Amino acid sequence: MLKDITENYKKAIKQNKNIILDNYSIKSGLLLKFDINTKVSDLKDEDYLIVDKKNENINKIELLNWFKIRDFYSGVISTNKAIDLPAKKILSSNYLTVFIKKDVFPEVGKPEQMMNKEKLKERISGYYDALSKTEEKFISIFSESIFVDKSKNYEDYLKQYFTKEYNYIKDKERSEAIRKHKEYLINNLDEIIDIIKIINEKSKFENYIKIFFDEAEEIYEMENRVYTMPSLFNINKFNIIENGELFGLPSNDMNTNEKKPFLLSRTMKHNVPYRETLDDVQDTKNFYEWLKLQNRNQREGIRLNYDFDYDGTSSFKNTDSFYNIHMTNKENSIDEFDNIPFSISKINFNYRNYLKIYYKDEKGNSKIVLDESIYDLASLEKKVNQYYFSGRMSGYYKNNEDDIKIKPTEFTPMLKVLLLNSRDAFYDYFKNGVDISIKKMINKISMEVIEEQLRHTVKGKNSYKVQMAYNLRLSFLEFFNIEGGKEMADKISSIMENLKTKLDDTEKVVTCESDEEFYFTSGQLAYYILSKSQSQSNDFGIFEHFLQAKNSEQLKLKLGESLEIYRHAISMKNIKFKNAMAMVMGYETDEKISGKMKDMLLAGILANNVFYEKNKKMEAVNDEE
């Protein structure tokens, strides 16, 4: 996987080494620039900067760029690879910087978390002591490997494979610089804390306090190399030398170590899955840094075309094959990876108003919902999110279970279960263009969603959202050519038209001609009878009574019971109603309320109600948005 997605990056980085820096942004906090050759009190307004992600209007652009480059070179790979171990209070990686969370900083932190001044001095002292022992980290690359010839001197080994870095850390000037910066901070810490306290009182800031020393970019970059090089390989034990070149196991998304040997290949000659050169591992690390920056802006995952040039343009153009990558925010590791060897095609999805439902415009006028043509998956995804899952299917919804909030009468626990059960299939379809899974489950999942909504989220007879959900269900069945889907849609339309004529007949006895017509008409009756209730107009789940019926006899019994309750509100001169009740009560069927028959009952409840039509003109409407 890593070899596939980093190939183009490695080519691009040779042309432009600023690919990552061009996309880099500093986290919120206070940034201060000190000069080791001047007093702390000489700090001027142009020497510090507050970065606020909520308000990114920064006037000191030149200073921001100065900090940006040095901030990039000064962070830790992860808290587990911090210099300040085991405390992990200082989160920078060189002697030119000290990064600390504001919450733990003396005088300005949270009372229950902040350190006192002496504790901070202790941490700074330990931090610089660890930095002075950088050589030990490099020696471990040699000493820990079981494949390196130990008869050789470690200095010769390090000079051969880490020439620039080893010469740099052995330079006495660096050792002296570490000592001076340590003394400067410890001796002036009280004054630095006072300055930070004053700035905080004047301009509140959040997140980090970052202290920088004025030094050339090249020194910061070299310090970054001597910090990262010993940490690039996952475990130095498996480093080998092949044709004069050092190879090792990368650390990105690898858990192999003495305590977690999960990826060791016990039955093969080589225990580790693969090895890469030091340069390749460095490129992979930098690629992860680039991905991390993209991940901040792309909540739904990172889609990356095979041939992307890393030129600052959009990483995804739907014209070719692509990778779909998702990174965890906490660990910045890839937890989901899909290789999509085709572009996502345009669709021709017809979102039809099968139920002939109406809505009310801004002036309160009833207007029929028009059919809609949808040509892209993103637009169709919005419909599913809106009408099935009340906005919960957004962002990277494959692993956001904790973010899916339940709300009674809007998004029930069962709706959450249905989302969790179907989200992988929806994601594969909407994000990757793969419809195999969703085709298999759309019939079942859409029916269960609509039933649950009708039982627990519909207030009174205001069923517009569920009506739209049902129209979406039938549109999906027809679009995917699900067996019986188009026939069901046609059947509903046919029954609705026939009922309009049949129920107005005053000359002859009308009867149900099929089980489908029986259940659809029963649904129409159920809606009409309950719509006459004044007391239940604000109640949720008023249709639950009918949805509990298992067969035709139970359904007819419940219709009769409801009619007794609301008989006073229904005119016995209503020919349509009398004909419909006679049709239903006189019909016998053994077909239980499941499958297609349940569909017909739900369609009857949700469709535009025939009893509110008179002479083919609307007398009242059955939906309120």
Mean pLDDT of 189-201: 96
Mean pLDDT of 471-476: 96
Mean pLDDT of 312-330: 79
* Among the ranges given (306-310, 398-402, 424-428), the one the predictor scored with the smallest mean pLDDT: 398-402
pLDDT, greater one: 238 or 453: 453
Mean pLDDT of 301-320: 79
* Mean predicted lDDT score pLDDT of the chain: 88
Most confident of 144-158, 412-426, 453-467, 563-577: 412-426
Mean pLDDT of 366-387: 95
CA distance 69 to 466: 53
Tokens 């962070």: give the residue: 75
pLDDT, greater one: 72 or 300: 72
% pLDDT > 90, the chain: 56
In this model, does residue 414 exceed pLDDT 80? yes
pLDDT, greater one: 573 or 554: 554
In this model, does residue 330 exceed pLDDT 70? no
Determine how β-strand 208-213 pairs with β-strand 29-34. parallel
Rounded-to-10 torsion of CA 340, 343, 344, 345 = -140
* Among the ranges given (55-64, 198-207, 550-559), the one the predictor scored with the smallest mean pLDDT: 55-64
The pLDDT, as a whole number, for residue 261 is: 62
The pLDDT, as a whole number, for residue 264 is: 67
The pLDDT, as a whole number, for residue 625 is: 37
pLDDT tens, position by position, 487-524: 988 999 999 999 988 888 877 888 999 999 999 999 99
Whether the Cβ atoms of residue 388 and residue 469 lie closer than 8 Å to each other: yes
Q: At what angle do helices 596-606 and 515-531 cross, to 10 degrees?
A: 30
Mean pLDDT of 179-206: 96
The pLDDT, as a whole number, for residue 192 is: 97
Which distant-in-sequence residues (6+ apart) come within 8 Å of 239 by Cβ?
Answer: 141, 144, 145, 147, 148, 233, 246, 247, 248
pLDDT, greater one: 154 or 314: 154
* Among the ranges given (199-203, 206-210, 225-229, 267-271), the one the predictor scored with the smallest mean pLDDT: 267-271
The pLDDT, as a whole number, for residue 329 is: 67
In this model, does residue 479 exceed pLDDT 90? yes
CA distance 420 to 601: 27
In this model, does residue 332 exceed pLDDT 80? no
What CATH architecture applies to the domain 486-618? Up-down Bundle (1.20)
CA distance 209 to 205: 9
CA 194-200-203 angle, to 5 degrees, is: 140
Domain ranges of the chain: 2-222, 297-340, 349-482, 486-618
Confidence of residue 198 (pLDDT cuts 50, 70, 90): very high
In this model, does residue 251 exceed pLDDT 60? yes
pLDDT tens, position by position, 10-69: 888 877 878 888 778 899 999 999 999 999 999 999 999 999 876 666 778 899 999 999
Evaluate the omega torsion of the peptide bond into residue 250 and state whether it is cis, within 30 degrees of 0. Answer: no
In this model, does residue 376 exceed pLDDT 90? yes
In this model, does residue 101 exceed pLDDT 90? yes
In this model, does residue 179 exceed pLDDT 50? yes
Radius of gyration for the chain, computed over Cα atoms and rounded to the nearest angstrom: 34
Which residue pairs, CB below 8 angstroms and at least 24 apart, start in 162-165? 162/138, 162/229, 164/222, 164/225, 165/138, 165/222, 165/225, 165/226, 165/229
In this model, does residue 263 exceed pLDDT 80? no
SS (H, E, C) 581-604: HHHHHCCCCCCCCCCHHHHHHHHH
The pLDDT, as a whole number, for residue 617 is: 40
* Among the ranges given (138-152, 250-264, 432-446), the one the predictor scored with the smallest mean pLDDT: 250-264
In this model, does residue 619 exceed pLDDT 60? no
The pLDDT, as a whole number, for residue 254 is: 67
Terminal alpha carbon distance of the chain: 48
In this model, does residue 428 exceed pLDDT 70? yes
The pLDDT, as a whole number, for residue 315 is: 77
Q: For residue 614, what is the enclosing H or E element?
A: strand 613-614
Mean pLDDT of 452-472: 91
The pLDDT, as a whole number, for residue 257 is: 60
pLDDT, greater one: 448 or 328: 448
In this model, does residue 390 exceed pLDDT 90? yes
The pLDDT, as a whole number, for residue 297 is: 61
> Sheet of 302-305: strands edge to edge?
302-305, 322-327, 334-340
In this model, does residue 182 exceed pLDDT 90? yes
